[in-house]
Chains A and B, each alone.
Chain A
Amino acid sequence: MKQKYFSCILLLCILLNLFFPTCLSSRTSQHNNNWAVIVCSSRFWFNYRHVANALSFYHTVKRLGIPDSNIILMLADDWACNARNCFPGKIFNNKDHNLNLYGTNVEIDYRGYEVNVENFLRLLTGRHEPDVPRNKRLLTDSGSNILVYLTGHGGNEFLKFQDSEEVSSKDIADAFEQMYQKKRYNEILFIIETCQANTLFNKFYSPNIAAIGCSELGENSYSHHFDSSIGVQVIDSFTYYSLNFLNNIKPGDSHTTLEKYFNSMTPKQIRSQPRLEFFQFQRNPREVLVSDFFGSIHDVVSHPIYDYSFQNDNHNQNGNIDANGEKENANRNDNFQLKNQFQHRDKAQPNIKISNQFQHNLEDEAIELSDNYFRLGMIILIFLIFFFALIEKIITQK
């Protein structure tokens, strides 16, 4: 009787193990924290729009939940308290001046001369001198999703830092490979907004990187509009239309995909060909969400003072007359119509490139193999038990 009980229980356990998948494999690796590296690599007052781009993304990322401790902000010069700024302490990305990007709570980690190629690559690879403070380090681990946003002047396979030095696409690709070897990221979204931006990710060879560039080889990236009260262009087209889309995303959004974000900008609007490319992405690229990179999976409680209330540009009913003498509303309506017109045409040829989709890693194969071995072992064990039970019956009968 005891033996029967024992064998029944054993059988049940084995059956359960057979019909439920084993816990050995973890094919879908989820991230457990988010980081952002936002770099404005240009110096001098006339590059105001680059810092407006960078701070717009900084704002978005903060609003969607990434805390300051997980954001590395590199601004190559001081614009807000510059002597040339008519609005001290304020940086705008729109000539309406409806949002002060600098706000009351901004933490800049690398400023001025510290924004250079060496520090950028040291930040990515984590190879710092021993007494570099904590806020200048990218303390990511293998479960971190990192958003890397670069803006400035660039060209064919390079990005210019501070008007003096360049970082090349090979450097960045090697830095990402070092990060991969050291398990410093889970997935990276690399957004770059310069002239000929797409060339900068020609050389990536590490897995799990998604890259968005705003212009092809031979194309320039254009600013969006000019602000006569400040005297310079205040924002670039790519960032302007990105913000139009991202402003509609709330924290905790779980259905807006990266593809949708990318398709919201048409080449006609930004006057250059953008590209979204996935390098050896482990999961389905079409399922990658915007909030995987722009938001945080932790619940971040933001204090009411530090809340940034956004006003969607599209809904801003402003009847002012801008520098060109046209009414602003008319401009926006035109853009909206153009967008509708060319939406379906671009859908026919999406600028998404998916390279090496669903690549089976060696690790996955090993996991599958061991799964099969285990299952085989279980089946053999069942047969053995039945066999021994039979033998016992025969012996006891005799």
Chain B
Amino acid sequence: MYHLKYGEIGRYSPPGGELIATFETKEDLESKFRTVSRKISGIFGTSQKFSDLTISAQPFYTEFNSLESTSQRTHYSSLPREPVCTENLTPWLKLLPCRSKAGLASLLNPIKLYDLFYHSMSVEVTRSQENSLSFHQQLLLVVELKEFKFSQIFGTPLIGPICPFSSQTKIQIEGFSDYSSFTPTPEEIGNNQVGFILKENLNNKKDFNLHYSPKENTNNNGYNHNNIGNGNSNNGNDNNNNFNNNGINDENISKNQSIKLNRFLKESGKIRGGVITQITNLEKNDLHLTLYDSLPWFMRVYFHTLTIKSNFENKEIEITDLNLEREQDNESNLFANQASLLRIQTSQDHGRPSIFELALVLKPGETFQISVDYLKGFLNFEEHPFDGNRGFDIAPAIVSMHGKKQNLKKRIYYTDSLLLMLPTPDFTMPYNVMTITTTAFLIWYGSFLNNLTGRAGLKLKKKSKAKWIIKPDKF
């Protein structure tokens, strides 16, 4: 789990690609989403499968956008298999006003970027009520450093001009309070964070190579984080490049993390299996979580096997079936019980996935284990991907934290994606069948035809010695 390994500093993306689109009205969501996903995947060089209806669905109770409640107008699609490489970075960079020619983005070199522990890019476009457009691009990298220096992290110091379109180019580093160890000296000094504003430095043609050399012997053998965000708003050219850096040691994990997530397959052969999701509350307070899980149709989920076990109690937890009406969206009712089933969508073969959404209340230190069993379905011959023997990637489940009382930020967590092995057919069978049947048919038909149309009298006549031959009388 990324937040467990690397710390909670931003919104991690699930493996592969993810597309979330919120529309104004509930009508005709699928065709609208299809159009949007095709255009966006064309821009970013991802595959068109986002619009595939067997994968995409609507999470009702997970709120991706912290600004407004968007239930039932949001369409979500996740492709865990999607490769992320230079061809995705190129259009992402081309969306920046100065691309990678000026400004902080000139540090980004794909050779370095794709050799890291973790990298993700995201673009978020929101339209607020006043009809102003907010465009937010985020690049999240996890770098292991021996030395905290730009030329080490990015391979190059920041040379070259600042982007003239940005109103501010700012580097903000969190988690360090000894500002005197930085070269050059920072302009802004805050509570556990320092900031560098890069207007004059670079225009004087001096290289900006941020260097941190601690005077004391601090134990810094954890992971360092870089978060480059670039925000544009339509009102003014308010271009704010933030560079966040967070040093986390191994001892800090339990301090910063809220939950621990795990998800795995419980398989017993080619016929049936089960999915188990484990959630642990690492906080000191009760946590209100919603779990959204969407499993493709070829995992034929049996919802009567949906059970929740807790490490605090011996018996299973009772799941209250709320199955609320879609108009009701009162948060306090959702978390009245320990575990409530908010929604179930059964799957359709070769069509939509099966979905269940749960609302959970976890006590501090409690672990819930949610398990559901399924039978594996058969795909049509054409539905198998070209490398069908690799298996199918199942999209991660989404756990979202709802916290009004605790004053937490609404956070989204993703589990791991799964790899499911389906019974695959022998793909050479059509060829084999055609070959055998045509051969057999040809042998029969060929000999048939030969016998029918072959010429008589081709055999040599034996000269018979008998001279008298009895010919039959004509009847």
Residues in A lying within 8 Å of B, measured CB to CB: 43-44, 78, 80-82, 88-90, 100, 102-109, 111-114, 116, 131-136, 162-164, 303, 305
B363 at the interface (CB under 8 A from A): no
Q: Which residues does chain B contribute within 8 Å of A105, judged by CB atoms?
A: 86, 90
B110 at the interface (CB under 8 A from A): yes
Q: Which 7 A-B pairs have CB atoms at the shortest separation, nearest pair first?
A: A133-B42, A78-B83, A81-B85, A162-B386, A89-B114, A108-B87, A88-B114
In the complex, the answer to whether A81 meets B83 with C-beta atoms within 8 Å is: yes
Residues in B lying within 8 Å of A, measured CB to CB: 34-35, 38-39, 41-43, 45-49, 81-87, 90-91, 100-101, 109-111, 113-115, 385-387, 427
In the complex where A44-B387, A89-B114, A89-B115 touch, is A112 in contact with B38 (Cβ < 8 A)?
no
- A393 vs chain B, min Cβ distance (A): 77
In the complex, the answer to whether B38 meets A133 with C-beta atoms within 8 Å is: yes
Q: In the bound complex, how far is the Cα of B109 from the Cα of A89, in angstroms?
A: 10
Give the residue name and chain of the A residue nearest to B89 (CB). Answer: A104
Q: In the bound complex, how far is the Cα of B83 from the Cα of A98, in angstroms?
A: 25
Q: In the bound complex, how far is the Cα of B34 from the Cα of A192, in angstroms?
A: 35
Q: Which residues does chain A contribute within 8 Å of B101, judged by CB atoms?
A: 303, 305
Give the residue name and chain of the A residue nearest to B388 (CB). Answer: A164
Q: Which residues does chain B contribute within 8 Å of A113, judged by CB atoms?
A: 47, 49, 385-386
Give the residue name and chain of the B residue nearest to A161 (CB). Answer: B386
In the complex where A43-B386, A107-B45, A109-B45 touch, is A164 in contact with B87 (Cβ < 8 A)?
no
**Residue of A111, A162, A164 ringed by the most chain B CB atoms within 10 A:** A111
| The one of B38, B43, B90, B114 that contacts A81, using a Cβ cutoff of 8 Å | B114
Give the residue name and chain of the B residue nearest to A105 (CB). Answer: B90
Q: Which residues does chain A contribute within 8 Å of B91, judged by CB atoms?
A: 107
Q: In the bound complex, how far is the Cα of B41 from the Cα of A305, in angstroms?
A: 25
- B106 vs chain A, min Cβ distance (A): 9
In the complex, the answer to whether B114 meets A136 with C-beta atoms within 8 Å is: no
In the complex, the answer to whether A104 meets B109 with C-beta atoms within 8 Å is: yes
In the complex, the answer to whether A43 meets B387 with C-beta atoms within 8 Å is: yes
In the complex, the answer to whether A81 meets B84 with C-beta atoms within 8 Å is: yes
Q: In the bound complex, how far is the Cα of B113 from the Cα of A43, in angstroms?
A: 25
| The one of A44, A104, A112, A131 that contacts B47, using a Cβ cutoff of 8 Å | A112
In the complex, the answer to whether B86 meets A102 with C-beta atoms within 8 Å is: yes
In the complex, the answer to whether A135 meets B47 with C-beta atoms within 8 Å is: no
Q: Which residues does chain B contribute within 8 Å of A164, judged by CB atoms?
A: 386, 427
- B360 vs chain A, min Cβ distance (A): 35
A-B contact pairs, 29 of them (CB 8 A): A43-B386, A44-B387, A80-B114, A81-B85, A81-B114, A88-B114, A88-B115, A89-B85, A89-B86, A89-B113, A89-B114, A100-B111, A104-B90, A104-B100, A104-B109, A104-B111, A105-B90, A106-B87, A111-B45, A111-B87, A112-B83, A113-B47, A114-B47, A133-B39, A133-B43, A135-B43, A163-B386, A163-B387, A305-B101
In the complex, the answer to whether B41 meets A133 with C-beta atoms within 8 Å is: yes
Give the residue name and chain of the A residue nearest to B42 (CB). Answer: A133
Q: In the bound complex, how far is the Cα of B39 from the Cα of A135, in angstroms?
A: 9
Q: Which residues does chain B contribute within 8 Å of A114, judged by CB atoms?
A: 47-48
Q: In the bound complex, how far is the Cα of B41 from the Cα of A133, in angstroms?
A: 8
Q: Which residues does chain B contribute within 8 Å of A81, judged by CB atoms?
A: 83-86, 114
Q: Which residues does chain A contribute within 8 Å of B84, judged by CB atoms?
A: 81
In the complex, the answer to whether A90 meets B87 with C-beta atoms within 8 Å is: no
Q: In the bound complex, how far is the Cα of B86 from the Cα of A104, in angstroms?
A: 7
Q: Which residues does chain B contribute within 8 Å of A100, judged by CB atoms?
A: 111
- A106 vs chain B, min Cβ distance (A): 5
- B381 vs chain A, min Cβ distance (A): 11
Give the residue name and chain of the A residue nearest to B49 (CB). Answer: A113
In the complex, the answer to whether A89 meets B111 with C-beta atoms within 8 Å is: yes
In the complex, the answer to whether A104 meets B42 with C-beta atoms within 8 Å is: no
**Residue of B38, B43, B86 ringed by the most chain A CB atoms within 10 A:** B86
In the complex where A89-B110, A90-B111, A113-B386 touch, is A134 in contact with B42 (Cβ < 8 A)?
yes
Give the residue name and chain of the A residue nearest to B83 (CB). Answer: A78
Q: In the bound complex, how far is the Cα of B43 from the Cα of A107, in angstroms?
A: 10
Q: In the bound complex, how far is the Cα of B46 from the Cα of A19, in angstroms?
A: 60
- B109 vs chain A, min Cβ distance (A): 7
Q: Which residues does chain B contribute within 8 Å of A135, judged by CB atoms?
A: 42-43, 45
Q: Which residues does chain A contribute within 8 Å of B387, judged by CB atoms?
A: 43-44, 163
In the complex, the answer to whether B386 meets A107 with C-beta atoms within 8 Å is: no
In the complex where A89-B113, A104-B109, A131-B39 touch, is A305 in contact with B83 (Cβ < 8 A)?
no
Q: In the bound complex, how far is the Cα of B186 from the Cα of A212, in angstroms?
A: 62
Q: Which residues does chain B contribute within 8 Å of A108, judged by CB atoms?
A: 45, 87
| Contacts A82-B83, A131-B34, A163-B387 supplied; 7 other A-B pairs, CB < 8 Å | A90-B111, A100-B111, A102-B85, A102-B86, A102-B110, A108-B45, A133-B41
- B93 vs chain A, min Cβ distance (A): 9
- A263 vs chain B, min Cβ distance (A): 35
Q: Which residues does chain B contribute within 8 Å of A111, judged by CB atoms?
A: 45-47, 83, 87
Q: Which residues does chain B contribute within 8 Å of A132, judged by CB atoms?
A: 38, 42
Q: In the bound complex, how far is the Cα of B38 from the Cα of A131, in angstroms?
A: 7
- A197 vs chain B, min Cβ distance (A): 22
Q: Which residues does chain A contribute within 8 Å of B427, judged by CB atoms?
A: 164
Q: In the bound complex, how far is the Cα of B387 from the Cα of A266, in angstroms?
A: 37
Q: Which residues does chain B contribute within 8 Å of A44, judged by CB atoms?
A: 387
Q: Which residues does chain A contribute within 8 Å of B41, judged by CB atoms?
A: 133
